[in-house]
């Protein structure tokens, strides 16, 4: 596996592969790799000739009060793990390389960002679409792989691709979980031992919601109340949001039906965790 830090060098490598008619799969990440990222990479390996993984902690998608400075990083370990799953190129630009004139680059996402993380992290998805557009332009992949743990992000990038005519197939990959159900996340490393134990209730509350829906409950507020009670009883974390919306439109619904997302975010002392399930009710 080769590490590339220069955009120009990456573009030259890509051009050569395109001339040979080889397909390229891209896995955008912020690094500190875990089994979730590696599952995306393994799928990309199966479906493409060349696999590029980007590792870039994108400053544009972090709010001022957020955890950009403390976001976990370990490039050496990332390189070992990416090589194990046969990634061909690890693209790791600096922020200066990606944003030489940072103030001048802006994009504004309206649709699908009014709720969930879009509401609690203002400007977050504007930063995500900027960096993802740049990565799509630099790597020009045939396929790009994203996790369903960030389901709102997938819904937004899906619109980005359609609106801006990127000739890219988006591949959504199921959330990879720890054996006790907690969604794998780079930020889990920032949970205290006590918080780590409590955090199993995040997925448990989503499962409880699904069970209640299966039993016939159709009122989103009642389901959300049950989830909030569970979360408040079992964690010291502060609920950021618990919502039930249509998916992928992410609009409020009066009655459970069709494809819906049940999504939550909880703030622990040093990590804000998200999780969701998407079901057809
Ligand atoms: N548990 C998971 N299962 C499947 N995909 C995942 C999982 N966690 C992250 N991904 C996907 O990996 C890609 C890169 O995500 P990112 O580097 O932000 O990892 P993360 O673990 O979600 O980090 P964070 O701490 O920011 O939540 C995204 O498409 C994301 O949805
Ligand atoms: C897609 C992404 C790599 C853009 O920085 C990031 O939002 C992530 O890791 O999900
Ligand atoms: N996977 C989401 C990236 C972020 O939290 O900024």
Cα 218 to middle of ligand 2, angstroms: 33
Q: Each residue of 212-245: pLDDT tens digit?
A: 999 999 999 999 999 999 999 999 999 999 999 9
Ligand 1 atom with minimal separation from the 72 CA: 25
Domain spans, the chain: 2-173, 186-276
Catalytically annotated residue among 37, 92, 124, 190: 37
Question: What was the pLDDT predicted at 110?
Answer: 86
Assign a CATH topology to domain 2-173: Rossmann fold (3.40.50)
User: What pLDDT band is residue 106 in, cutting at 50, 70 and 90?
Assistant: confident
Catalytic-residue membership of 92: no
Q: Which of 142, 168, 141 is nearest to 154 (CA)?
A: 168
Whether 186 is in the pocket of ligand 1, judged by its Cβ within 6 Å, is yes
Task: Look up residue 254 and give its two tokens.
Answer: 């009066």
Predicted TM-score of the model (pTM): 0.97
Place of tokens 């937004």: 156
Cα 63 to middle of ligand 2, angstroms: 14
Rounded Cα–Cα distance for residues 201 and 55 (Å): 30
Q: Each residue of 246-256: pLDDT tens digit?
A: 999 999 999 99
Residue 104 has pLDDT above 70, yes or no: no
| Mean pLDDT on 127-145 | 98
Ligand 3 atom with minimal separation from the 187 CA: 5
User: Is 186-276 a CATH 3.40.718.10 domain?
Assistant: no
Q: What is the DSSP string of 36-98?
A: HHHHHHHHHHHH-SEEEEEE---GGGS-TTSSTTTS---HHHHHHHHHHTT-SEEE---HHHH
Cα 165 to middle of ligand 2, angstroms: 20
């Amino acid at each position: 596996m080769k590490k590339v830090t220069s955009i120009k060098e990456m573009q030259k490598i890509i051009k050569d592969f395109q001339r040979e008619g080889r397909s390229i799969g891209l896995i955008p990440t912020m690094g500190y790799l875990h089994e979730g990222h590696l599952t995306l990479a393994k799928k990309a390996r199966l479906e493409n000739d060349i696999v590029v993984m980007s590792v870039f902690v994108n400053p544009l998608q972090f709010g001022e009060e957020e955890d950009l400075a403390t976001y976990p990083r370990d490039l050496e370990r990332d390189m070992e793990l990416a090589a194990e799953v046969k990634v061909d190129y690890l693209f790791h630009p600096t922020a200066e390389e990606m944003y030489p004139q940072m103030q001048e680059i802006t994009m504004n996402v309206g649709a699908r960002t009014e709720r969930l993380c879009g509401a609690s992290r203002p400007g977050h998805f504007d930063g995500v679409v900027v960096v993802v557009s740049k990565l799509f332009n630099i790597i020009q992949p045939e396929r790009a792989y994203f996790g369903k743990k960030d389901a709102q992000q997938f819904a937004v990038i899906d619109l980005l691709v359609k609106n801006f005519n990127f000739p890219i197939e988006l591949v959504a990959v199921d959330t990879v979980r720890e054996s006790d159900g907690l969604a794998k996340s780079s930020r889990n490393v920032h949970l205290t031992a006590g918080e780590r134990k409590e955090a199993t209730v995040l997925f448990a509350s989503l499962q409880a919601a699904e069970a209640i829906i299966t039993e016939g409950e159709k009122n989103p507020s009642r389901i959300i109340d049950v989830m909030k009670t569970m979360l408040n009883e079992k964690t010291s974390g502060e609920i950021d949001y618990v919502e039930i919306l249509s998916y992928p439109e992410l609009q409020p619904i009066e009655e459970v039906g069709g494809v819906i997302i049940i999504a939550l975010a909880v703030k622990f002392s040093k990590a804000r965790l998200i999780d969701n399930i998407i079901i057809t009710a």
